[in-house]
Structure 1
Amino acid sequence: MGDFSAEEVGRARALRRGVWPVALGGRVAALGLMLGLGLTTGGAGLVAAFGGGTWGGRVAGAAVSLVLLPEVLGLPFAARGRVVRRRFGLVTQGWGGWWADVLRGLLISLPLTFGALFAVYALAGATGHWWVWAALGAAALTVVMSWAAPMIFEPLFNRFTPMEPGPLRDALLALAARDGVTVEDVLVADASRRTTALNAYVSGFGRTRRIVVYDTLLTTAQPREVELVVAHELGHVVHRDVPRGTALGALGAAVGVCVLAAVVTWRPLLDLAGADDFADPRSAWLLAAVATVGGAVAGPLGCAVSRGVERRADRHALELTADPAEFIAMQRRLTVANIGDPDPPRALHLMFGTHPTPAERIAAARAWRPPAPQDTF
Structure 2
Amino acid sequence: MTARRAALITAVVLGVALVVVIAVATPWSPLPEPPGGRTPLDPTAGLSATELGRAEAFAASLRPASVASLLLGLVVSALLGLTRLGSRLVRAVAAPLGGGWVWQVLLGVLALAVIGRLVTLPLSAYGESVRHRYGLSTRSWGLWLRDVSVSTAIDAGLTALGLLVVVLLARKLPRTWWAWAAAGAAALVVVGSFLWPVLMEPAFNEFEPLAAGQLRSDLLELAEENGTPVEDVLVSDASRRTTALNAYVSGFGSTRRIVLYDTVLDGLPDAQVESIVAHELGHVATDDVLTGTLIGALGAGAGVALLGWLISSPALLRRAGADAPGDPRVIPLVLFLMTIGTLVATPVQNTVSRHIEARADVHALDLTRDPGAFADMQRDLAGSNLNDPDPPAVWQWFYGSHPTVAQRLAIAEDWTRLEQP
TM-score for both structures, normalised by structure 1: 0.96
| Distance change in 2, residues 1:157/1:2 (3 Å) | closer
> Could you tell me which amino acid in structure 1 is paired with residue 64 of structure 2?
P
- 1:48-90 per-position Cα deviation (integer Å, ceiling 9, x unaligned): 1111232122112322223211111121111110000110000
Q: Which of the residues 35, 52, 65 maps onto 2:78?
A: 35
Aligned partner of 2:234 in structure 1 is: 187
d(CA) in 1 for partners of 2:319, 2:258:
50
d(CA) in 2 for partners of 1:343, 1:107:
36
| Distance change in 2, residues 1:326/1:152 (3 Å) | same
**1:90 corresponds to 2:136:** yes
d(CA) in 2 for partners of 1:310, 1:37:
37
- Deviation of 1:111 after TM superposition, in Å, equals 2.5
Aligned partner of 2:217 in structure 1 is: 170
- Deviation of 1:307 after TM superposition, in Å, equals 0.2
d(CA) in 1 for partners of 2:130, 2:148:
18
| Distance change in 2, residues 1:209/1:365 (3 Å) | same
> Could you tell me which amino acid in structure 2 is paired with residue 38 of structure 1?
G
Q: Which of the residues 91, 105, 115 maps onto 1:48?
A: 91
d(CA) in 2 for partners of 1:297, 1:100:
30
- Deviation of 1:277 after TM superposition, in Å, equals 1.3
8 A contact 1:48–1:61 mirrored in 2: no
Q: Which of the residues 118, 125, 145 maps onto 1:99?
A: 145
Identity %: 47
- Deviation of 1:371 after TM superposition, in Å, equals 6.7
Give 1:1-377 correspondences, 5 Å limit.
1=44, 3-52=46-95, 53-127=99-173, 128-369=175-416
Is 127-136 or 68-77 further displaced after alignment? 68-77
d(CA) in 2 for partners of 1:138, 1:152:
19
Is 288-297 or 203-212 further displaced after alignment? 288-297
List alignment gaps of at least 5 residues for structure 2. 1-43
SS of equivalent residue, structure 1 residue 90: coil
- 1:291-338 per-position Cα deviation (integer Å, ceiling 9, x unaligned): 111211121111100001000000000111111111100100100000
- Deviation of 1:146 after TM superposition, in Å, equals 1.4
- Deviation of 1:234 after TM superposition, in Å, equals 0.2
d(CA) in 2 for partners of 1:105, 1:298:
21
d(CA) in 2 for partners of 1:210, 1:125:
43
> Could you tell me which amino acid in structure 2 is paired with residue 179 of structure 1?
N
| Distance change in 2, residues 1:372/1:37 (3 Å) | closer
8 A contact 2:45–2:379 mirrored in 1: no
d(CA) in 2 for partners of 1:234, 1:22:
34
- Deviation of 1:2 after TM superposition, in Å, equals 5.5
SS of equivalent residue, structure 2 residue 59: helix
Is 187-196 or 106-115 further displaced after alignment? 106-115
- 1:231-279 per-position Cα deviation (integer Å, ceiling 9, x unaligned): 0000000000111111111111011000111111111111111111121
d(CA) in 2 for partners of 1:2, 1:338:
14
- 1:38-57 per-position Cα deviation (integer Å, ceiling 9, x unaligned): 11111111101111232122
**What's the RMSD between the two structures over aligned residues?**
1.5
Is 293-302 or 140-149 further displaced after alignment? 140-149
8 A contact 1:332–1:358 mirrored in 2: yes
d(CA) in 2 for partners of 1:372, 1:13:
34
> Could you tell me which amino acid in structure 2 is paired with residue 80 of structure 1?
Y
Indicate the structure whose relative CO is greater, using CA pairs within 8 Å and at least 6 residues apart.
2
8 A contact 1:236–1:313 mirrored in 2: yes
8 A contact 2:45–2:409 mirrored in 1: no
d(CA) in 1 for partners of 2:353, 2:216:
29
- Deviation of 1:107 after TM superposition, in Å, equals 3.4
d(CA) in 2 for partners of 1:226, 1:136:
41
d(CA) in 1 for partners of 2:400, 2:234:
28
| Distance change in 2, residues 1:12/1:373 (3 Å) | closer
List alignment gaps of at least 5 residues for structure 1. none
SS of equivalent residue, structure 2 residue 187: helix
> Could you tell me which amino acid in structure 2 is paired with residue 108 of structure 1?
I
SS of equivalent residue, structure 2 residue 168: helix
Is 95-104 or 134-143 further displaced after alignment? 95-104
d(CA) in 2 for partners of 1:256, 1:2:
39
| Distance change in 2, residues 1:186/1:194 (3 Å) | same
d(CA) in 2 for partners of 1:61, 1:2:
50
> Could you tell me which amino acid in structure 1 is paired with residue 415 of structure 2?
W
